Amino acid sequence: MAGYVFAIGKTPDPIDTIRTFAERGIYSTYINSLYPLSFEGTLADYLSMRPGDNIYFFCKRKFYGIGELVSVGPDCKYCNFPSAAKREDVTYNDIQDDLLLDEGLKSPKYRWLCTFRGAPHFFESGVDMDEVLTYKPQTFKMLRAFWKVSFIKLGDEENQSLREIFLLRHQEELATHTHVLPENDTAKESLLSKSLTDYIITPHDMLSNCHEGDRVKHEMALEANVVYDLCQDRIPELGHWDYVSHQVIASPFKPVDYMDKIDVFAVRYLPGTSVPCKYLVVELKKDIADADAIDQVLKYVDWVCKEYAYGDYSAIEACIITAGTPSIVQQHYLDVVQRNYALGSHPIRNEQWNALKLLRYSYQDGTINYYDETPET
* pTM score, whole prediction: 0.95
Where are the chain's structural domains?
3-199, 207-372
Q: Is 207-372 a CATH 3.40.1350.10 domain?
A: yes
Q: Which of 371, 279, 265 is nearest to 321 (CA)?
A: 371
Task: Tell me whether strands 77-79 and 110-118 are parallel, antiparallel or unpaired.
Answer: antiparallel
Task: Note the pLDDT tens digit of each residue in 305-333.
Answer: 999 999 999 999 999 999 999 999 999 99
Question: What is the model's pLDDT at position 254?
Answer: 84
- The CATH architecture of the domain made up of 3-199 is Roll (3.10)
Determine which of 59-63, 200-204, 279-283, 343-347 has the lowest per-residue pLDDT on average.
343-347
> Is the pLDDT reported for residue 339 higher than 90?
yes
CB-based burial label for 126 (10 Å; 0-12, 13-18, 19+): buried
Q: Residue 9: which pLDDT band, with cuts at 50, 70 and 90?
A: confident
Question: What is the model's pLDDT at position 346?
Answer: 86
